[in-house]
Amino acid sequence: MSVKEKLKQVLIEDLNIEDVEPDEIADDLALFGEGLGLDSLDAVELVIIIQKHFGVEIKDMVESRPIFESINTLAAYIEANKS
């Protein structure tokens, strides 16, 4: 399973997003606000999800804001920081 596919799957499971299938989330869909509709609490939960499932740490929410834009940006960050 690719990083993007796995991301979509754990996002739906761990953030409990019902009524959405992984392939319904476009790679460039905005995760926050309009789009998938996530909020600030989901953002910090995402940090844990990414650490738990991919072993990649995100330390600073302000500096990391661009990472959270979409599946594309998240996947790129995970690929670049995987050990």
Binding site for another protein (CB under 8 A): 15-19, 39-42, 44-45, 47-48, 51-52, 57, 59, 61-62
**DSSP string spanning the chain?**
--HHHHHHHHHHHHTT-TT--GGGS-TT--SBSTTT-B-HHHHHHHHHHHHHHH------TTTTGGGGS-HHHHHHHHHHH--
Q: How far is the CB of 73 from another protein (least distance, A)?
A: 19
Nearer to another protein, 2 or 60 (CB): 60
Q: How far is the CB of 17 from another protein (least distance, A)?
A: 6
Q: How far is the CB of 40 from another protein (least distance, A)?
A: 5
> What are φ and ψ of residue 32, in 5° steps?
-105, 160
Nearer to another protein, 2 or 16 (CB): 16
